[in-house]
Amino acid sequence: MSEYTFKLPDLGEGTVESEIGEWFIKVGDQVSEEDVVGTMMTDKAAVELSSPVSGKVIQLAGEPGDIVAVGAGLVVFDVDEVDSSVAAEAAPTEAPPAEAPPGEVAAETKPVPAKRTRVMTSPAVRRMAKEAGIDLATIAGSGPGGRVTRKDFEQHVGAGHARDRAQAPSGLAAAAIARGHGPLLREIKIIGLRRIIAERMATATREIPHFTFVEEFDITELEALRKHLNENVTNQSERLTLLPFLGLALIRALKEFPQCNATYDKERNVLLQHGPVHLGIATQTPDGLKVPVVRHAESLSVEDLGHEIRRVSDAARNNSIKKNELSGSTITITSLGRLGGIVSTPVINMPEVGIIGVNRAVERPVVMNGQVAVRLMMNLSSSFDHRFVDGYDAAAMIQRIKEMLEHPATIFLP
């Protein structure tokens, strides 16, 4: 037996170790060269690894969640034992069976299995399909080159549920299915991006004394301006949201409060005040919360800022974002959109010292000049690192943002 050890390669950015995300193979499987064997998790993304050889899997380095050092053995293959079906695929034609001599029975010719093409999709969709027991090859992909997208998977699952309901049993079993009864307990191992998020959240809340400040804003005039600027925009995806206006107001305010556009270097015990504004955009993705970065946001117009926010957010969701676009932010905006509620307590994205949280915009009755009027109101719930940002300065910066958003023309004044 000739063994080949596939060692964990350097995944970049000075990575010295990586976490096993998931395996697409198991011991005993026959693997062809270039087949994807699994994913490894870095701090930024899930990286698919392809086999450099063909052979039989005889050993795996561990289970999902285990840590493997760069250069350590990841998969051990028996490269001498090649599955007969793989060898048969390489044959250009299948020779016809020879006639059996008198008195003998011709040996049965086994059909050559069709080569299975690996379905193109993201690690997140592959994991969901594995958990649901769904063969990705049965899903028609609408992405580039037939790639199966999350939407394709969800539509396939929805169609399957519809068929299940049509074939559901009657009586007590049907009633149980209708009530949605399932397993009473499910163990979920915390691995990959979810583990990293958990660790960072725990560290941030343990080490940073958060000062949270909530203020309400009258954005009636801002919303009127936003709608006016969108009137001639035919592409729905290019329409301006409130975020780029908030981003511009924040950038203007940071010039007056540079201590809020800062990061803390814990190892050197140094506070770094940044001139450029590298704006983090907290984005919910199928893999968990990511913070893609709009670099040099201070140099962008409202249209360009809106475009960049959409671009990095979409790239974070579909895993096409570059690694360097997931680090280096100096302050972060987080928004739950329509789920924004009235008040939230955003957790600071270390090593930053401030985060601006956007709550839901709703119409409320407001007293103006002694009269009750209906105005579009929105709260900002922001948190600051109280070690480096005094409560007075935090409140003063938010009030400065409030002034600009309630009189939106001032956002664009020199």
Of 166, 181, 201, the residue at which a domain comes to its end is 166
**9 lies in some domain:** yes
**202 lies in some domain:** no
- Determine phi and psi for 9, rounding to 5 degrees: -80, 170
Q: Is 271 helix (H, G, I), strand (E, B) or coil?
A: strand
| Contact of 41 with 191, CB cutoff 8 Å | yes
Q: Tell me the pLDDT tens digit for each residue of 198-228.
A: 889 999 999 999 999 999 999 999 999 999 9
**125 lies in some domain:** yes
Whether residues 245 and 380 fall in one domain:
yes
Of 166, 182, 199, the residue at which a domain comes to its end is 166
Whether residues 235 and 155 fall in one domain:
no
Cα(12)–Cα(9) distance, integer angstroms: 9
Pick from 95-109, 132-146, 241-255: least confident: 95-109
Q: State residue 167's pLDDT score.
A: 57
Whether residues 337 and 405 fall in one domain:
yes
Whether residues 356 and 252 fall in one domain:
yes
Residue 226's nearest CA partner among 361, 408, 33 is: 408
Residue 371 has pLDDT above 70, yes or no: yes
Query: Residue 379, Cβ neighbours under 10 Å: how many?
Result: 20
Whether residues 232 and 126 fall in one domain:
no
CATH number, domain with residue 139: 2.40.50.100
- Determine phi and psi for 373, rounding to 5 degrees: -130, 155
Whether residues 45 and 162 fall in one domain:
yes
**Which listed residue (83, 274, 386, 393) is catalytic?**
386
269 secondary structure, DSSP code: T
Whether residues 128 and 247 fall in one domain:
no
pLDDT higher at 214 or 45 = 214
Tokens of 72: 């350590």
Number of domains in the chain: 2
| Contact of 334 with 290, CB cutoff 8 Å | no
Whether residues 141 and 237 fall in one domain:
no
Residue 164 has pLDDT above 60, yes or no: no
Query: Residue 63, Cβ neighbours under 10 Å: how many?
Result: 11
Whether residues 131 and 270 fall in one domain:
no
Residues pairing with 40 in the sheet:
20, 47
**Which listed residue (164, 296, 390, 407) is catalytic?**
390
**203 lies in some domain:** no
Amino acid in position 306: G
Q: Is 406 helix (H, G, I), strand (E, B) or coil?
A: helix
Say whether 407 is catalytic.
no
**365 lies in some domain:** yes
Whether residues 162 and 311 fall in one domain:
no
**What average pLDDT does the chain have?**
85
Can you give the residue range of the structural domain that contains 361?
209-412
Q: Which of 4-8, 154-158, 180-184, 394-398 has the highest mean pLDDT?
A: 394-398
Whether residues 149 and 227 fall in one domain:
no
**111 lies in some domain:** no
CATH number, domain with residue 257: 3.30.559.10
Cα(33)–Cα(321) distance, integer angstroms: 27
Whether residues 362 and 263 fall in one domain:
yes
- Determine phi and psi for 342, rounding to 5 degrees: -95, -45
Q: State residue 47's pLDDT score.
A: 82
**97 lies in some domain:** no
Say whether 66 is catalytic.
no
pTM higher than the cut 0.85? no
Residue 308 has pLDDT above 60, yes or no: yes
**304 lies in some domain:** yes
pLDDT higher at 42 or 365 = 365
* Paired sense of beta strands 354-368 and 331-335, if any: parallel
- Determine phi and psi for 142, rounding to 5 degrees: -100, -5
